[in-house]
Structure 1
């Protein structure tokens, strides 16, 4: 038998096992359960052969998504449980975290705010689980970028400009000992060695809001010890 023209024959594409509703042309349509060729499973709504609607997708690596789909992509509101124990609950657009959402990291930290293309972008609050500290302000492509951000710690808070995750430009520290520290914040200009991180430095003016008496503790010394 001649095999002339056999290259034009389409081989059937294996889509895995499926049990559920179909439309008139045999496409998955309605509610069904599928085991994909890679071992993942999906139980939920289909529309014209695509995951569209609400469903539960279990990845073979242990991750699990529960939420809305459109054209086989996470789209709408949903929760994704990651294999490392972290979790994201919020908006999705074309398989990416977008809109408002809450991400709980495996160390207990949380970010509650806006997302764009899987990155923190817009206004949000990041809370550190171990210390209770939190940052309130704006983000751009996963980094803190804000003209009026606030970082709150146990006994003090910083209010001012942030750039590339660090205080940069005008700002102030407010301490619970009734003192404020005003100044310009920046980065040390020096050669980087072995990708060493740069430490922020300050040139500040100390403004004390309480009167001192000879019996009071030296507030300036206390302030320097807190930094």
Structure 2
């Protein structure tokens, strides 16, 4: 199951839906601790309040997934662990049946995101760690990298701005020290390179599509970490 797939079995079970073995209140509603088998084959074991799942519980999906954690008024709300049928999992905060708050999602690829969520998407400060150890730290807005951030890869560090998941504008690479050199810092900028348009292209085919553009790193200067100066006209002419 993908990390944005909706979850079945979120609402409370009404009378006559599946089987139930457990405590009830004076109104004969499921209330207290109990175990239910739903018509679709899913099961729930945990706490109820006035006919709805509320409190701690374990919900097992017939498909193989499971959720263990807090419920409120029949939906996931509070702290909980959701293990999806494909092996990916999310552990963290929920609000009104959606990943909202702080939590960690581990993907089947071995990648993981730890940070803030809102309505099932990454939103706020977080860290995305790739299987190979690369880390991307910064801010997500509605599931996409936005604003300032850092990338750590194989000893190298990049600091700069991001827009719609892509690095943009000014940035800095920091190179680690080696046996023969001290750490070095390279400042530069990401520029957008537009695809060429051939003279014989039809007018309707000459539109430049966003996905055809490329971002290219344009270095400006190199120096020890923390060293920055204004780009000189000579260096600009050399690099252009």
Aligned residue among 24, 31, 34 for 1:32: 34
Could you report, residue by residue, the CA deviation over 1:99-145 in whole angstroms, capped at 9, with x for unpaired residues? 0001111111111100000001100011111x211011111111111
| 2:183 pairs with 1:181 | no
Change (3 A) 1:70 1:32: same
Question: Which has the larger displacement, 177-186 or 49-58?
Answer: 177-186
Aligned to 2:146: 145
Query: Given the alignment of the two structures, is residue 160 of structure 1 paired with residue 160 of structure 2, yes or no?
Result: yes
In the superposition, the TM-score normalised over structure 1's length comes to 0.81
Shift of 1:196: 4.8
State the distance in 1 between where 2:69 and 2:213 align.
42
Give the conservation status (yes or no) of the 8 Å contact 1:156–1:174: yes
Structure with greater Cα Rg: 1
Match of 1:127 in 2: 129
**Conserved 8 A contact 1:151-1:159:** yes
Coordinate RMSD, CA, aligned:
1.8
* Distance in 2 of aligned mates of 1:70 and 1:180: 52
Q: Distance in 2 between matches of 1:162 and 1:85?
A: 30
Q: Which runs of 4+ in 1 moved over 6 A?
A: none
Once residues 145 and 121 of structure 2 are traced to their aligned partners in structure 1, the CA distance between those partners, rounded to angstroms, is 11
TM-score for both structures, normalised by structure 2: 0.77
Write the deviation string for residues 178-206 of structure 1: whole angstroms up to 9, x where unpaired: 222212214333423xx856432122213
CA contact (8 A) 2:59 2:68 kept: yes
Q: Is the 8 A contact 1:80 1:89 kept in 2?
A: yes
In structure 2, how many angstroms separate the alpha carbons of the residues matched to 1:87 and 1:24?
38
Equivalent residues in 2 for 1:101-120, closer than 5 Å = 101-120=103-122
Structure 1 contact 14–37 (Cα < 8 Å) conserved: no
Q: Secondary structure at 1:108's aligned position in 2? A: coil
Task: Tell me the distance in 1 between the aligned counterparts of 2:212 and 2:50.
Answer: 52
Structure 2 gap ranges (5+): 1-13, 178-182, 196-207, 226-240
2:92 matched residue in structure 1: 90
2:237 corresponds to which residue?
Answer: none
For the Cα contact (< 8 Å) 2:194–2:214, is it kept in 1?
Answer: no
SS of residue matched to 1:14 = coil
